Structure 1
Amino acid sequence: MGFRWWTRVNALEIGGLDGYVSNLSDGRVQIVAEGDRSHCDRLLDSLRTGDTPGRVDGVTEIWGEPRGGYEGFAIR
């Protein structure tokens, strides 16, 4: 199971999240998630547990106003 797939599965299990996960050209992964703060916090917590596939060296949070335009949670 790959990291992007794992992230999508977690987002769908948490529920109430729209957005996406994608690879960046420099090897990092970008996750954009919109939903209730508690649901976003649960997704962030799952990324920090160390039980992810692959290696997570750090998680950077950027909070802002939801922009919308996402339907479900996708892998890009």
Structure 2
Amino acid sequence: MQKRLHAFVCGRVQGVWYRASAQKTAQKLGLHGWVGNLADGRVELVAEGDEQALQQLLDWCWQGPTLAQVTDIQQEWSDATHAFSDFSTQRL
């Protein structure tokens, strides 16, 4: 079953290649959606696909790229809407 993960990643996650790394990871996992920086310093991510692949992405989100320091992830799960054709970075 296809699911959707909507997450807000908190901590030192901007200016450390978090978005680009998340995009690359999501693409490797065959997921669709987007990731973007928020004005308050968090990263927002929406991903759709196989539930196991989404869990792998969420596990990666806790680590992030080398310079990231993740302190919290607020997450919401729902059914996929199939609104995305790829995984991209967004300017929010």
The TM tier, using the shorter chain, reads: 0.7 to 0.9
Please identify runs of 4+ aligned residues in structure 1 that moved more than 4 A: none
**Cα distance change on mapping 1:36 and 1:25 into 2, 3 Å:** same
1:65 maps to which of 74, 79, 83: 79
Letter paired with 2:89: I
How far apart are the structure 2 equivalents of 1:25 and 1:64?
A: 25
Contact 2:23 2:89 in 1 (8 A): yes
* TM-align CA RMSD: 1.5
Determine what percentage of the aligned residue pairs are the same residue: 31
1:27 is aligned to 41
Shift of 1:54: 2.3
For 2:25, the equivalent position in structure 1 comes to 10
Secondary structure of the equivalent of 2:54? Answer: helix
TM-score, normalised on structure 1?
Answer: 0.86
* Superposition TM-score, scaled by structure 2 size: 0.72
Map Cα deviations across residues 23-45 of structure 1 (whole Å, 9 max, x no partner): 11211100100001001001001
**What SS does the corresponding residue of 1:39 show, helix, strand or coil?**
helix
- Which structure's residues are more often helix, by fraction? 1
Q: State how far apart, in whole Å, the 1-side matches of 2:79 and 2:48 are.
A: 9
SS class of match (2:35) = strand
Aligned length: 74
- What is the DSSP-based 3-state SS (H/G/I as helix, E as strand, rest coil) of the residue aligned with 2:33? strand
Unpaired segments ≥5 residues, structure 2: 1-15
Structure 2 partner of 1:36:
50
Between 4-13 and 61-70, the greater mean CA deviation after superposition:
61-70
* CA 1:51–1:21: 2 relative to 1, 3 Å: closer
